[in-house]
Amino acid sequence: MQRAAPFRGLARVIGRPQSVVRRPYSTPARTTPPPPPSSGSAASTASTARTDRILSRLPPSMQRYTSRLKDAPVSHVVAFLILHELTAIVPVLGLFGLFHYLADNNPVLTYMVENYSEQVEGGVARFERYFRKKGWLSGDGDGESAATEEASSNAEPVAASAAKTPAASVLARWSDARYRIVVEVGLAYAITKLLLPVRIAASLSATPWFAGVLQKLRKLRK
């Protein structure tokens, strides 16, 4: 019986449950995809890009005054864009009404044709294509006015040679009643485009005030 004692102790050691040691393992880090850009941030980015395109048209001497707008809040950028559009639409409509009221006595047309004939011709050609696309002008779609066609059909060399210049082309359209409205709109557009630095300067100066007006209107809607 005494000899069995060592075996009992050995059995106790063998019978004990052994603790299982588990090797630690590393799990791969989960990379979460970045959240998609919100509609507000996308709109602000588009507004900023459009503002940069508008401001890049300014002369280099005036661009130093526009650096603050690039770092301004989104409300100021939106206010500037709205003012920029208003300073384009209102002068075009106002000048068109003035030129249409003046009728035959239009000294502005003479001055603009003599000094800015290419700009006026570009504006007239732009709106002539638009009017023809909408079907508001009668005649062929070749872009020639009735006055120019009549001059070429009469085979007058002086008129034909003069019609090749932008100034003569504009005056030829002005003499035709059907094209007079096109010339008036094109002339108003040319003047508004030449006043671009003045329009941008006015929009920049009124941006803080107009941004406050927009914020007040937004609070009223809520």
pLDDT digits (tens, 9 = 90+) for 76-102: 888 988 999 999 999 999 999 998 887
- Residue 204 CB partners (closer than 8 Å, separation 6+): 65, 66, 69, 80
Is the CA virtual torsion 91, 97, 101, 104 positive or negative? positive
Predicted confidence at residue 60, as pLDDT, reads 72
How many residues would you count in the chain? 222
Q: How sure is the predictor about 57, in pLDDT bands with cuts at 50, 70 and 90?
A: confident
The two counts, helices (H) then strands (E), for the chain are: 12, 0
Q: Are 147 and 175 in contact (CB under 8 A)?
A: yes
Domain ranges of the chain: 68-221
Give the chain's radius of gyration (CA, Å).
38
- Give percent above pLDDT 90 in the chain: 26
SS3 content of the chain, % helix, strand, coil (to 5): 75, 0, 25
Predicted confidence at residue 155, as pLDDT, reads 34
- Residue 46 CB partners (closer than 8 Å, separation 6+): none
Predicted confidence at residue 174, as pLDDT, reads 84
How buried is 76 (Cβ within 10 angstroms: 0-12 exposed, 13-18 middle, 19+ buried)?
Answer: buried
Query: Mean pLDDT, to the nearest integer, of 126-150?
Result: 68
Please state, in angstroms and rounded to a whole number, the distance separating the CA atoms of residues 160 and 195: 33
Q: How many CA atoms lie within 13 A of 127 on its CB side?
A: 21
Q: Are 204 and 69 in contact (CB under 8 A)?
A: yes
